[in-house]
A and B are shown apart, each in its own frame.
Chain A
Protein backbone atom coordinates (compact mmCIF):
# COMPACT_ATOMS: atom_id res chain seq x y z
CA UNK A 1 0.00 0.00 0.00
CA UNK A 2 1.21 3.49 -0.83
CA UNK A 3 1.76 5.89 1.96
CA UNK A 4 4.04 8.21 3.84
CA UNK A 5 6.01 6.93 6.83
CA UNK A 6 7.51 8.99 9.60
CA UNK A 7 9.89 7.62 12.20
CA UNK A 8 10.36 7.50 15.05
CA UNK A 9 6.93 8.11 16.53
CA UNK A 10 8.45 9.52 19.72
CA UNK A 11 11.87 11.13 20.07
CA UNK A 12 13.67 12.60 23.03
CA UNK A 13 16.44 15.12 22.62
CA UNK A 14 18.97 16.31 25.13
CA UNK A 15 19.99 19.94 25.27
CA UNK A 16 22.57 20.77 22.61
CA UNK A 17 21.93 17.63 20.59
CA UNK A 18 21.02 17.36 16.93
CA UNK A 19 18.32 14.87 15.99
CA UNK A 20 17.01 13.71 12.63
CA UNK A 21 13.40 12.85 11.84
CA UNK A 22 12.76 10.48 8.97
CA UNK A 23 10.08 10.85 6.29
CA UNK A 24 9.69 8.35 3.45
CA UNK A 25 6.92 8.14 0.85
CA UNK A 26 6.12 5.58 -1.85
CA UNK A 27 3.34 7.56 -3.50
CA UNK A 28 5.60 8.85 -6.27
CA UNK A 29 4.81 12.37 -5.07
CA UNK A 30 7.06 15.15 -6.27
CA UNK A 31 6.72 17.60 -3.40
CA UNK A 32 7.36 17.04 0.29
CA UNK A 33 6.79 19.29 3.28
CA UNK A 34 7.68 19.56 6.96
CA UNK A 35 5.33 21.20 9.44
CA UNK A 36 5.55 21.89 13.13
CA UNK A 37 2.45 21.87 15.35
CA UNK A 38 2.38 23.16 18.91
CA UNK A 39 -0.50 22.46 21.32
CA UNK A 40 -3.61 24.34 20.28
CA UNK A 41 -1.84 25.78 17.27
CA UNK A 42 -2.12 25.30 13.56
CA UNK A 43 0.49 23.93 11.19
CA UNK A 44 3.58 26.02 10.60
CA UNK A 45 5.69 25.30 7.54
CA UNK A 46 9.37 24.59 8.21
CA UNK A 47 10.74 23.53 4.81
CA UNK A 48 9.42 22.18 1.55
CA UNK A 49 10.90 20.55 -1.53
CA UNK A 50 9.36 20.36 -4.98
CA UNK A 51 12.10 18.37 -6.72
CA UNK A 52 15.15 16.32 -5.78
CA UNK A 53 18.18 18.32 -4.63
CA UNK A 54 16.13 21.46 -4.15
CA UNK A 55 14.28 22.80 -1.12
CA UNK A 56 12.90 26.08 0.16
CA UNK A 57 12.56 27.65 3.59
CA UNK A 58 9.13 27.95 5.06
CA UNK A 59 7.94 30.34 7.75
CA UNK A 60 10.00 28.93 10.64
CA UNK A 61 13.18 27.40 9.12
CA UNK A 62 15.63 28.73 11.71
CA UNK A 63 17.24 25.91 13.69
CA UNK A 64 16.22 23.25 11.17
CA UNK A 65 17.88 21.69 8.13
CA UNK A 66 16.72 19.29 5.42
CA UNK A 67 17.99 17.33 2.45
CA UNK A 68 16.31 15.83 -0.59
CA UNK A 69 18.73 13.39 -2.17
CA UNK A 70 16.01 10.97 -3.25
CA UNK A 71 12.46 11.59 -4.41
CA UNK A 72 11.13 9.27 -1.71
CA UNK A 73 12.96 10.76 1.26
CA UNK A 74 12.95 14.15 3.00
CA UNK A 75 14.65 13.97 6.42
CA UNK A 76 14.48 16.87 8.86
CA UNK A 77 17.32 17.65 11.28
CA UNK A 78 16.49 19.63 14.39
CA UNK A 79 19.72 21.33 15.34
CA UNK A 80 20.92 22.63 18.68
CA UNK A 81 20.20 26.12 17.35
CA UNK A 82 16.47 25.41 17.67
CA UNK A 83 15.87 26.59 21.23
CA UNK A 84 12.34 25.33 21.67
CA UNK A 85 12.06 22.12 19.65
CA UNK A 86 9.40 20.33 21.69
CA UNK A 87 6.50 19.89 19.28
CA UNK A 88 4.62 17.52 17.00
CA UNK A 89 6.30 17.30 13.59
CA UNK A 90 4.33 16.36 10.50
CA UNK A 91 5.64 15.40 7.09
CA UNK A 92 3.40 15.64 4.03
CA UNK A 93 3.66 15.02 0.31
CA UNK A 94 1.79 15.86 -2.88
CA UNK A 95 2.06 15.78 -6.66
CA UNK A 96 3.73 18.91 -8.00
CA UNK A 97 0.90 19.97 -10.28
CA UNK A 98 -2.08 18.35 -8.63
CA UNK A 99 -4.62 20.40 -6.70
CA UNK A 100 -5.73 17.44 -4.58
CA UNK A 101 -4.11 18.42 -1.33
CA UNK A 102 -1.52 16.73 0.81
CA UNK A 103 -1.09 13.28 2.30
CA UNK A 104 0.28 13.38 5.82
CA UNK A 105 2.49 10.99 7.71
CA UNK A 106 1.57 9.90 11.22
CA UNK A 107 3.88 12.42 12.87
CA UNK A 108 6.83 12.46 15.27
CA UNK A 109 6.50 13.87 18.75
CA UNK A 110 9.79 15.42 19.83
CA UNK A 111 10.47 16.22 23.47
CA UNK A 112 13.50 17.94 24.96
CA UNK A 113 14.69 16.29 28.18
Chain B
Protein backbone atom coordinates (compact mmCIF):
# COMPACT_ATOMS: atom_id res chain seq x y z
CA UNK B 1 0.00 0.00 0.00
CA UNK B 2 1.56 3.24 -1.15
CA UNK B 3 1.16 5.98 1.45
CA UNK B 4 1.84 9.68 1.53
CA UNK B 5 1.81 11.33 4.94
CA UNK B 6 1.38 14.99 5.76
CA UNK B 7 0.76 16.88 8.96
CA UNK B 8 -2.83 18.08 8.66
CA UNK B 9 -2.11 21.32 10.48
CA UNK B 10 -3.30 23.97 10.61
CA UNK B 11 0.09 25.54 10.24
CA UNK B 12 0.00 29.21 11.14
CA UNK B 13 2.78 31.61 10.16
CA UNK B 14 2.97 35.41 10.28
CA UNK B 15 3.03 37.35 7.05
CA UNK B 16 6.56 37.60 5.66
CA UNK B 17 7.81 34.46 7.41
CA UNK B 18 8.92 31.19 5.84
CA UNK B 19 6.31 28.42 5.79
CA UNK B 20 7.68 24.88 5.78
CA UNK B 21 5.44 22.03 4.67
CA UNK B 22 6.57 18.43 4.96
CA UNK B 23 5.64 15.13 3.36
CA UNK B 24 6.89 11.56 3.70
CA UNK B 25 6.16 8.65 1.37
CA UNK B 26 6.38 4.90 1.71
CA UNK B 27 7.26 3.64 -1.78
CA UNK B 28 10.98 3.78 -2.54
CA UNK B 29 10.17 3.33 -6.22
CA UNK B 30 8.41 6.68 -6.38
CA UNK B 31 9.77 8.82 -9.17
CA UNK B 32 8.12 12.23 -9.23
CA UNK B 33 6.88 14.49 -6.49
CA UNK B 34 4.30 17.23 -6.70
CA UNK B 35 2.90 20.02 -4.59
CA UNK B 36 -0.65 21.20 -5.29
CA UNK B 37 -2.34 24.19 -3.70
CA UNK B 38 -6.07 24.00 -3.03
CA UNK B 39 -8.10 27.00 -1.95
CA UNK B 40 -11.29 26.30 -0.02
CA UNK B 41 -14.02 25.09 -2.38
CA UNK B 42 -11.71 25.04 -5.38
CA UNK B 43 -9.80 22.35 -7.26
CA UNK B 44 -6.08 21.64 -6.73
CA UNK B 45 -3.60 23.54 -8.85
CA UNK B 46 -0.03 22.41 -9.47
CA UNK B 47 2.60 24.74 -8.04
CA UNK B 48 5.81 22.67 -8.03
CA UNK B 49 7.18 19.32 -9.09
CA UNK B 50 10.58 17.75 -8.47
CA UNK B 51 12.29 14.59 -9.68
CA UNK B 52 15.88 14.75 -8.45
CA UNK B 53 17.39 14.93 -5.00
CA UNK B 54 18.09 18.45 -3.85
CA UNK B 55 16.31 21.75 -4.16
CA UNK B 56 14.22 23.27 -6.90
CA UNK B 57 13.29 26.92 -6.71
CA UNK B 58 10.47 28.79 -8.46
CA UNK B 59 9.93 32.32 -7.24
CA UNK B 60 9.01 32.24 -3.56
CA UNK B 61 8.61 28.46 -3.60
CA UNK B 62 11.35 25.88 -3.03
CA UNK B 63 10.75 22.14 -3.22
CA UNK B 64 13.27 19.89 -1.47
CA UNK B 65 13.62 16.16 -2.09
CA UNK B 66 15.57 13.57 -0.13
CA UNK B 67 14.94 10.14 -1.64
CA UNK B 68 17.11 8.33 0.92
CA UNK B 69 14.90 9.64 3.71
CA UNK B 70 11.75 9.42 1.57
CA UNK B 71 11.00 13.00 2.38
CA UNK B 72 9.85 15.97 0.32
CA UNK B 73 9.17 19.48 1.55
CA UNK B 74 7.89 22.80 0.29
CA UNK B 75 9.22 26.11 1.56
CA UNK B 76 7.28 29.30 0.94
CA UNK B 77 9.36 32.42 1.51
CA UNK B 78 7.85 35.81 2.35
CA UNK B 79 4.49 34.17 3.05
CA UNK B 80 1.45 36.21 2.05
CA UNK B 81 -2.17 35.95 3.22
CA UNK B 82 -3.00 34.79 -0.32
CA UNK B 83 -0.87 31.69 0.35
CA UNK B 84 -3.45 30.56 2.90
CA UNK B 85 -4.72 27.28 1.47
CA UNK B 86 -4.39 23.53 1.81
CA UNK B 87 -1.23 22.10 0.25
CA UNK B 88 -1.40 18.58 -1.13
CA UNK B 89 1.70 16.47 -1.58
CA UNK B 90 1.47 13.89 -4.37
CA UNK B 91 3.85 11.13 -5.34
CA UNK B 92 3.89 9.29 -8.63
CA UNK B 93 4.94 5.76 -9.33
CA UNK B 94 5.16 4.00 -12.64
CA UNK B 95 2.85 1.05 -12.99
CA UNK B 96 2.03 -0.74 -16.25
CA UNK B 97 3.68 2.08 -18.17
CA UNK B 98 1.60 4.86 -16.72
CA UNK B 99 2.24 7.32 -13.98
CA UNK B 100 -0.34 7.46 -11.21
CA UNK B 101 -0.39 9.85 -8.31
CA UNK B 102 -0.96 9.05 -4.67
CA UNK B 103 -2.04 12.09 -2.65
CA UNK B 104 -1.52 13.01 0.95
CA UNK B 105 -4.43 14.44 2.92
CA UNK B 106 -2.97 17.91 2.80
CA UNK B 107 -1.64 20.52 5.22
CA UNK B 108 -3.75 23.59 5.87
CA UNK B 109 -1.64 26.74 5.92
CA UNK B 110 -2.84 29.98 7.45
CA UNK B 111 -0.78 33.14 6.93
CA UNK B 112 -1.62 35.73 9.57
CA UNK B 113 -1.44 39.41 8.47
Tell me the A residues contacting B by CB distance below 8 Å: 31, 40-43, 48, 50, 88, 90, 94, 96-107, 109
Q: Which residues of A contact B90 (CB under 8 A)?
A: 101-102
Identify the closest chain B residue to A48 (Cβ): B100
- Please state if B103 and A99 are interface contacts (CB–CB under 8 Å): no
Majority secondary structure, A binding face: loop
Q: How far is the CA of A41 from the CA of B105 in the complex (A)?
A: 6
- Interface residue tally of chain B, by bracket? 20 to 34
With beta carbons under 8 angstroms apart, the residue of A42, A48, A94, A106 that contacts B103 is: A42
Q: Which residues of B contact A48 (CB under 8 A)?
A: 100
Tell me the B residues contacting A by CB distance below 8 Å: 8, 31-32, 34, 41-46, 49, 51, 88, 90, 92, 94, 96-101, 103-106
Given A42-B88, A42-B105, A43-B88 in contact, is the A97-B99 Cβ separation under 8 Å? yes
Q: Which residues of B contact A31 (CB under 8 A)?
A: 98
Given A43-B88, A107-B42 in contact, is the A102-B49 Cβ separation under 8 Å? no
